[in-house]
């Protein structure tokens, strides 16, 4: 996924799941400068982490 698309998804008012390493996640925030996204899984909302945007799949 590219940074612009990740940003669009994160800014939508509705929850849109994407996948990271086969797990459905929500994008909380996108850092355009570092090209990373702050994500969390729907199973464990407290497990937040920063991952490369390129590792996300729609």
Predicted TM-score (pTM) of this structure: 0.88
Which tens digits make up the pLDDT trace of 31-56? 999 999 999 998 888 889 999 999 99
> Minimal CA–CA distance to 50: which of 6, 42, 33, 31?
31
The top-level CATH class assigned to 3-57 is: mainly beta
**Residue predicted with more confidence, 13 or 21:** 21
CB 52 within 8 A of CB 33: no
Q: Where are the domains of the chain?
A: 3-57
């Amino acid at each position: 996924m590219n940074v612009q698309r990740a940003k669009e998804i994160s800014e939508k008012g509705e929850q849109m799941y994407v996948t990271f390493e086969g797990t459905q996640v929500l994008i909380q925030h996108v850092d355009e400068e570092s090209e990373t996204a702050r994500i969390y899984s729907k199973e464990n909302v407290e497990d937040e982490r920063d991952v490369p945007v390129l590792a996300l799949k729609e």
